[in-house]
């Protein structure tokens, strides 16, 4: 299985961004750990990060993957365009949030992209990405 991991705005500064909320692990470290986790389970992982909504949509439109793991950051709460791009790619997707968005500001409780995903992993720290890989693996059998 080829898994595309998408990270949106402000996730490139993980490690130094509000470490009390997001932890001290960098995005590069998360991607490395996720790639190793996927490989051990026979999957290839490609990762893409952008602060720009359109760039994330462009990457989704390539459809060179079998499944998606997405953390669109704050765009999860606002972007109907990313929702539509997830639907259009016709691949199973899992939404990840490092922090517990349900225990923070009320506006974070709403994800407009989640309805386009099959599963959500919320508030599990960076290891949520590994849980998302495991979920996709059990889905593919
Ligand atoms: C986040 C939660 C979002 O509300 C926030 O805007 C982020 C990160 C998370 O991983 O916990 O940028 O998606």
**Mean pLDDT per 10-residue section of the chain, whose length is 141 residues:** 98 98 98 98 98 99 98 98 99 98 98 98 98 97 81
Q: Which two tokens stand for residue 110?
A: 């709403």
The strand order across the sheet containing 119-122 reads: 44-49, 2-7, 67-71, 93-97, 119-122
Residue 98 DSSP SS3: coil
Helix (H) or strand (E) holding 68: strand 67-71
Catalytic site residues?
Answer: 22, 97
Residue having the nearest C-alpha atom to atom 7 of ligand 1: 73
Domains of the chain: 2-140 (3.40.50.9100)
Do 6 and 68 contact (CB within 8 A), yes or no?
A: yes
Protein residues with CB under 6 Å of any ligand 1 atom: 10, 71, 73-74, 76, 97-99, 101, 108
Would you state the pLDDT for residue 141? Answer: 81
Do 8 and 56 contact (CB within 8 A), yes or no?
A: yes
CA of 97 to the centre of ligand 1 (A): 6
Would you state the pLDDT for residue 109? Answer: 98
Half-sphere exposure in the Cβ direction for 121 (13 Å, CA): 21
CA of 110 to the centre of ligand 1 (A): 12
Alpha carbon distance 54, 3 (integer Å): 20
What is the pTM assigned to this prediction? 0.98
Residues 6+ apart with CB under 8 A from 59: 4, 6, 48, 50
């Amino acid at each position: 299985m080829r898994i595309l991991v998408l990270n949106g705005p402000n996730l490139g500064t993980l490690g130094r961004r509000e470490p009390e909320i997001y932890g001290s692990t960098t995005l590069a470290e998360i991607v490395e750990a996720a790639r190793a986790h996927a490989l051990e389970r026979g999957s290839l992982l490609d990762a893409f990060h952008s602060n720009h909504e359109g760039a994330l949509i462009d990457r989704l439109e390539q459809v060179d993957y079998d499944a998606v793991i997405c953390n669109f950051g704050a765009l999860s709460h606002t972007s109907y365009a990313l929702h539509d791009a997830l639907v259009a790619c016709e691949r199973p997707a899992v939404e990840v949030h490092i922090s517990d968005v349900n225990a923070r500001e009320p506006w974070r409780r709403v994800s407009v992209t989640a309805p386009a995903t099959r599963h959500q992993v919320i508030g599990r720290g960076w290891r949520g990405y590994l849980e998302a890989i495991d979920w996709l693996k059990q889905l593919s059998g």
